[in-house]
Amino acid sequence: MSARSKARKRAMDMLFKADLVGHSIEEVLADEQARAANEPERAASWRYARQIVSGVAEHFAEIDEDIESTARDWRLERMPRVDRAILRIAVWEIRFNEEVPDVVAISEAVQNATEYSTEDSSRFINGVLARISDRHGA
């Protein structure tokens, strides 16, 4: 697994935790940063995970609005928490990270949904992200 794939997983864990326990993304990020200081072998994945989570926090309202307006008949509150985390990461990459091609962001999100979420999540996430990419992508 590449360092960026590991970073996406780490970011997914942080966003999921913030959503689950009701802490701010900034609080969870600070806790994880303290933990990362003791894990120098994971420094490469930590840097990109921090960039993702900070970016999601910075653009949170825009990202959630994009997801909800694109997800046909699905409100964010109805989606599994893990799907929300995966979507937020991918939307941030599509809209705000020019280093990651949309196709890579979508592929990684679908892979994470296949591995960590429900049976139908990968198709749902693929459809939402494809529409967002068409609207905002390069």
Residues 40-96: pLDDT tens digits?
777 777 889 999 999 999 999 999 999 999 998 889 999 999 999 999 999 999 999
Residues 23-32: pLDDT tens digits?
999 999 888 8
Buried b (16+ CB within 10 A) or exposed e, 63-91: bbebbeebbeeeebeebbebbbbbbbbbb
Rounded CA-CA distance 90/129 in Å is: 7
Domains of the chain in start order, with CATH, are 3-136 (1.10.940.10)
Rounded to an integer, the average pLDDT of 3-13 is 92
Q: Do the Cβ atoms of 122 and 110 come closer than 8 Å?
A: yes
Residue 137 has pLDDT above 70, yes or no: no
Half-sphere exposure of 123 (CA within 13 A, CB side): 3
pTM of the model: 0.92
Question: What pLDDT score was predicted for residue 122?
Answer: 95
Question: What pLDDT score was predicted for residue 138?
Answer: 55
